Chains A and B, each alone.
Chain A
Amino acid sequence: MRYDPPLQKTQGLWPLLLAVVALVAYPFVFEATYFRHVMILAFVFAIVATSWDFSLGFGGLFNFAHVALFAVGIYTYAILAKTLGVSPWLAILAGGFTSAFVALLISIPVLRLDGIYVILVTIAFSQLLYLIVISASSVTGGTSGMVTLPTLTINGYRLSGDGRIGYYFVGLGLLAANILFLYLVTRSRLGRATVALKDNKYYAIARGISEARTRALTLMASAVFTGLAGAFYAAYLRVASPDAFGMGFLTLLLSILLMGGAGTIWGPVIAAFGISVISEWLSGFGAWQNIVISVAIILVVVLYPGGLWAAIQEIREAVDNVRTGTLARLRRNRGRAEREALTGATERMIRTRFAEIAVADTGEAEKPALLFCHGNSACKEAFYKQFRSMSDTHRVIAFDLPGHGVSGNGDPETTYNVAAYAEIAEAVLADCGVDKVAVFGWSLGGYVALELAARGNVEVTALAIAGTPPLAVVPEDFGNGYNPDSHLVLAGKQYFSRQEARDYGNSATAPISADSAFMHRNLPRTDGRARVYMMTKISIIDWPRQMRMLAEGRIPFAILNGSDDPFLNHGYIARLNYGSIWRGAPQDIMGGRHAPFFNKPDAFDLAFYAFLRDAESGSDATFRPSRMAATA
């Protein structure tokens, strides 16, 4: 299950456009050459670090000769443009080519090696290149290097003129091209093969990925822009010095890569700007510059290995938690009358061990109680049609799951899982003074209903689910019970862009209409962590207990799926073993989708009422073992 929307559909688009505008405006705001100089260096470092990240972070290939690839670009430019008199622009292009070629050479000894040996051999290779450069002094100038390299010109205009504005924009363009290149490569077949080899080498090889070819291509892809950046760097500074091979430069780039966050494109880009500025600022302090940078590297790597990017994600999560929590608190009072008008029930807040929970209850304790459990990223008002149609005969109760609707957010570790939800359902029933209840669960709420019944702390007189394939073996049955081609992958995604929220809302509940608009408005309130943790905590639920309960068949049980539910694998649900199920098999609501009670309320109510009646009368004719159970 992969979900990889194009960039313009993700939430990254606006920050990116903003950054581009800021970078284009920068040289016109800061006209001093020094400010532009620092930025040009940052562009170069960002290119080299992100390219390195493709082989190291994405590919897990610890190529410590990457800095040498940069130096190859530098010397290619120096030799071609100065000694051989080739056009500087061609020499820059050639830098990319020679660098990729050297990367191919490096890949040869690395092909058969793993882990630390790759590091050692690439370091040795880089030393070898260094030794060749300082030994072949007639060509490279040896330890003193080469100076007064040709500068870049366009139609005779020197890019270094006007406070280096020409270099600034060429550097910016190069960085943009590099990011675009990496963005496309990471999404290409090569990129997927690269990551697959890192994550599970033998599986990837078994699936027909050639390790040797992928490694060579990965290294070459990471070398192209590194070489171009090296050549550009040489053209900009107009010197080629063997210092580029040195530990100082390696440490600087490594710090950009790690503090930015390995395995991401944007982290190192952001870090490159920060660290270039800091490093330039520290350069006046001699030996202390390297000491400070090194201490910072150690602190980051030891204490916060994810780097800047991980910190940004964590801050984003904290901000989102505040946003959703505040939204819930605001809506608790503001929209309350509207919500109560919709359901005809009174809403109140109750305290539970996990979070504050909003409960809608029609009261009237003399009627039989009926509890509705809503699904992922929905709210209790999803059942407003049932509140209206069934409250004449039943006491209808529904509650917002924690992190949903107007309930509060909870501690993600303990709160956002089905077992906790079931415990909350028990607390809600206890607060209503109900000890016998019929339960309907929808989607995620279906698991809550199953778990509530399986726990057995509350007497469940009837149990119905919709959009919920019961799971026997997790996580295997997760793949069997659902249709992975749908928008289901979004169910576990932390942040929704507008487009994604609309997609998920359309599939999970109903397309936007005057009728369903409130559900779509409610969806962005959902605590994204509830979606993520629900998925990661899936293994701590006692699924077999639910299956045992269904196999025993003591509780009157019905499945009322929408016939057109886009998420479900109906065949899987029909094949399970039910000791006693209403009408002997899962029942389809014709034309119903994932929320049949919402988009086909009349048909659903009809079936649900019939089920409740049969459950009450306990007629054996309507509750039969499923075909599977009958043959077993």
Chain B
Amino acid sequence: MLDVRDLSGGYEPVQIFQHVDLQVSAAESIGIFGPNGHGKTTLLRTLSGLIDPWQGDIFFDGERMNREGRRGSRKWRNFNYDAVTRRRMDPKKVARAGLIHVQQGNLLFPELTVTETLSIAVSAASGRRGWSVAEVQQLFPRVAERRDHKIRFLSGGERQMVSIAAGLIAAPRMLILDEPTLGLSPKIRQELCGAILEIRKTGLPIILIDQDVAFLEQIIDTLYLFDHGRISGRMSRDEMPDHETLMVMLFGERH
């Protein structure tokens, strides 16, 4: 369903990741595991079109998400190529194709209420069938409770739930979750993990980034190791070792 071929990218002029190949079938959920600061988030931002890829292709459900060809040559270092070249990705197109990315530590719209935020997601879905507001409120009772509060006044965990809820309403056919449980209290964390498991059970494929191997094991079918801007390993759920072994695989003894 998602087919990433030889993808390289980064923030001009610094290249962050390179030669990433990633195939995710329609029924599959995958996890990406790797140290912080090695380009996972940059890769996801490229997949969802927030930044342009330098090279390679992204297909979603057979449809090409990027414009064809490589990033044009940037010979004159100080020339603002953005002013004269068209963007190679359109985040709107990716989202409307159904690849929905829930960002890490998403602050959402601080001055809007929960209800308003969800209604934005409804209008963003513009007719395509996503979850209904009632369904996400059932999944996240906390969100239902706080529906008249501004996002600004929500806790980190509640905000994360609203983010996922909005993502579900926006008619996802595949959901990218970037460290959804980062920095949450154990109780909220458990609640959120449970909800993500529920989402998984509906058959919606998920790309999950998390540092918690036990949690990853519950959700995903395949794990990709990602470090130094490249995929360095791939293993099925059954082959997955514990956290310590994974870190050794990535860094050797000294890490």
A residues near B, CB below 8 A? Answer: 302-306, 310-311, 313-314, 413, 472, 536-537, 539-540, 542-544, 547-548, 551, 577, 632
Contact = CB atoms under 8 A, between A and B. Distances in A.
Given A536-B13, A540-B18, A303 B83 contact: yes
B229 A305 contact: no
Contacts of A306: 78
A322 to B, nearest CB: 14
B99 to A, nearest CB: 27
B78 A310 contact: yes
Interface string B237-254: 000000000000011111
Contact of B80 (A305, A313, A542): A305
B253 A551 contact: yes
Contact of A303 (B14, B80, B229, B254): B80
A311 B18 CA distance: 30
Given A303-B84, A543-B228, A544-B252, 10 more contacts: A303-B79, A313-B78, A314-B76, A536-B13, A542-B228, A544-B251, A548-B252, A551-B253, A632-B253, A632-B254
A175 B250 CA distance: 59
Contacts of A632: 253-254
Contacts of B187: none
A537 B16 CA distance: 10
B72 to A, nearest CB: 12
B252 to A, nearest CB: 5
Contacts of A305: 78, 80
Nearest to A547: B252
B254 A472 contact: yes
A551 B13 contact: no
A314 B252 contact: no
Nearest to A632: B253
Given A302-B83, A314-B77, A577 B253 contact: yes
Do most interface residues of chain B lie in helix, strand or loop, or is the interface mixed? loop
Contacts of B252: 544, 547-548, 551, 577
Range, interface on chain B: 20 to 34
Nearest to B16: A539
Contacts of B178: none
Contacts of A548: 252
B159 interface: no
Query: Which of B13, B229, B252: most chain A CB closer than 10 A?
Result: B252
B227 interface: yes
B254 A539 contact: no
B13 A302 contact: no
Which 3 A-B pairs have CB atoms at the shortest separation, nearest pair first? A306-B78, A310-B78, A548-B252
A298 to B, nearest CB: 11
Nearest to B54: A413
Contacts of B253: 551, 577, 632
Contact of B78 (A302, A314, A543): A314
A447 to B, nearest CB: 15
28 contacts: A302-B83, A303-B83, A304-B79, A305-B80, A306-B78, A310-B77, A310-B78, A313-B78, A314-B76, A314-B77, A413-B74, A472-B254, A539-B14, A539-B229, A540-B15, A542-B228, A543-B228, A544-B250, A544-B251, A547-B252, A547-B254, A548-B252, A551-B254, A577-B252, A577-B253, A577-B254, A632-B253, A632-B254
Nearest to B250: A544
Nearest to B74: A413
Interface string B66-80: 000000001011111
A314 B75 CA distance: 10
B40 interface: no
Interface in B46-94: 74, 76-80, 83-84
Contacts of A311: 78
A55 to B, nearest CB: 23
A577 B252 CA distance: 10
Contacts of B251: 544
B173 interface: no
A291 B230 CA distance: 50
A627 to B, nearest CB: 13
Nearest to A575: B254
B228 A544 contact: yes
A1 to B, nearest CB: 19
A304 B81 CA distance: 9
Contacts of B18: 540
Chain B CB count within 10 A is highest, among A306, A540, A543, A577, for A540
Among B79, B228, B254: residue with most chain A CB under 10 A:
B254
A305 B76 CA distance: 12
Nearest to B8: A540
A305 B80 CA distance: 7
Contacts of A543: 228
Contacts of A413: 74
A547 B252 CA distance: 8
Contacts of B14: 536, 539
Contacts of A544: 227-228, 250-252
Nearest to A576: B254
Nearest to B15: A540
A484 B114 CA distance: 53
B80 A304 contact: yes
Nearest to B17: A540
Contacts of B230: 542
A547 B15 CA distance: 22
